[in-house]
Amino acid sequence: MGGIPDVVRVTSADGRLPYYMGFTRTVNRPRNLQRDRAIVLGEGPAGTPPPISIWFPTDGGSGHQFIY
């Protein structure tokens, strides 16, 4: 796993309004990460929302680590 970048596109529920598109790399879900946990947050500047570091789809064991 890892090496070849993927693209993740985040849109509105109807798929018409794009919010974000970014490159990611595939990573394995850590064994100790709860199965219902879908995101891992990173650190950001004070007063700003933390960035999403990794997104784990609920139907798989691997996730997408965002490349900022």
State how far Cα 60 lies from the chain centre. Answer: 13
How confident is the model at residue 31, as a pLDDT? 86
pLDDT at 47: 94
Place of tokens 């990794």: 54
- Res 35: pLDDT: 82
**pLDDT of 19:** 80
Burial class of residue 34, CB neighbours in 10 A (0-12, 13-18, 19+): exposed
What does pTM read for this prediction?
0.71
Is there a contact between 61 and 23 (Cβ–Cβ < 8 Å)? no
- Compute mean pLDDT per 10 residues along the chain, 68 residues long, and list them: 68 86 88 87 92 86 87
> What is residue 42's predicted lDDT score, i.e. its pLDDT?
93
Question: What pLDDT is recorded for position 65?
Answer: 93
Task: Tell me the residue ranges of DSSP E strands in the chain.
Answer: 5-11, 18-28, 39-41, 52-55, 62-66
Domain borders along the chain are 5-66
